[in-house]
Structure 1
Amino acid sequence: MIFQTIRQQQPLIHCITNYVVANFQANGLLALGASPVMADDSQEVEEMVAMAQALLINIGTLNTRTKNAMLLAGKKANALGIPVILDPVGAGATTYRKETVQYLLENIQFAVIRCNIGELAAIANVDWQQKGVDSGHGSMSLETEALLVAQRYNCIVIVTGERDLITNGEHSQWIAGGHPQMTEVTGTGCLLSALCGAAYVAGNKPYNQLAETLTYYKKAAVLASAFTADIGDFQIALLNAIHRLSKDGEASCIL
């Protein structure tokens, strides 16, 4: 089981991320048995990423300083063969975000793009009404556009929502499950992106490993919801569920 494999391997995941979710991401990786590091200064990101097994780039609280650090770390990771995960938070919300995502995609080879449907639309240049960093609304064929983006950037694309889609440009898979409370706590998608970095390096079949991660993340949400109906406690319950799944596996899914 992928969560248990990650716990056994204890990969170091370098996160250049946003200040809204940094603590949650770090605790989520720790709950899984991985090691987080959140270095984002240009003076050290190349040295830091060289020690990591995967790099996450999350543009949630984007600024010029971190944009430069993202580029340096991403290029260094590419040179060393370290997989890079992109979380293009709110990519279509402003011109600056959209242009930055395109700039990063042009200059860094990403292994995975993990996004919501609105962020996918921004990357695919489809008209869409972004609502801040939320998915917003519009009309497009999600599976078709995800497939095209995966082919264009030679990477795995994961689009999360009520059902998750994963595609590598050839094969696609829908994953159902989860719980609505996941949408009421900030950072659950951002945490998933960090977990995807750990999952990608957990073996030699990254597509399968990521699909399994999506499945068990949804199971963790269901498990967490069984322990509390209070949204303020849900984040803690989710961390506890991830921790249990990484130690006890399927037994923890029996509610």
Structure 2
Amino acid sequence: MRLSLGCEVGYDVLETATLIFNIEAMRGGRQQVLNEQLVISPNVTADEKTAHESGNRYLRLTAPPGYLHVRYTAEIELDPLHRAPAFIGEVPVATLPLETLPFLNPSRYCPSDQLARFAVREFGNIAPGFGRVVEICNWINAEVDYQFGTSDSATTAAGTFSTRAGVCRDFAHLGITFCRALGIPARFVSCYAWQLEPQDFHAVFEAYLGDRWYLFDPTRMATLDGMVRIACGRDAADTAFATIFGAVNPQNVYVWANALDQNTSAEWTTDAVSTQD
């Protein structure tokens, strides 16, 4: 699948401020960046760096007082890997790759230790494997209302579990929390998502099963085949599209993702989907 995507973000900078953006599509794996363009107005100097371990691409700039506008556009080729879920099992902690171990621990927004008793009681008797993570997503989708204004930047998975309402990042945090409580490495993923309505930066999660990371979206709001990964981390604290140091008022945020292929299917897949090699 080939996608045209991008975003525009605007800020009213009240005094000189430093902003760190994470809006550029990841490179590598089964996600190829064919071309991209970044336009910053005013034309200030920006530092760009790709984190070695995560692949997250960071853009840091210092903006003078006034209006700041950042526009990113890209054309992406996706070649997601599909596998039959029945043959994908969980990996014992004793044999997990060492790089996955940090994603077993509680983190700022994913207090898996606080929800461990519920996770074990609700999902502990389900056969280990891909299907158990699907059941976690099914529970979240059925029990948590997708509702704007019910959470904020301080809401953790424990808060979402209590209120039973939230948005995509809250759904992802809850899925990650339950997985970690069961000994399944899980990490937060921010992405551009084809056919998401309304269009915005989307949040899903990946669980490490078998020999790779697989995508899961408890919201069921976008097809897994049309998700372009921007960043991954322990939770949303590691993947914010903008981190601001200084006096700044956010203005407009506009996000889009459009298919360029003529006969692209939008059907939800029940396959295991990965964008990793």
TM-score between both structures, scaled by the size of structure 1: 0.29
TM-score between both structures, scaled by the size of structure 2: 0.27
More helix by share: 1
**Which protein shows a greater Rg?**
2
More strand by share: 2
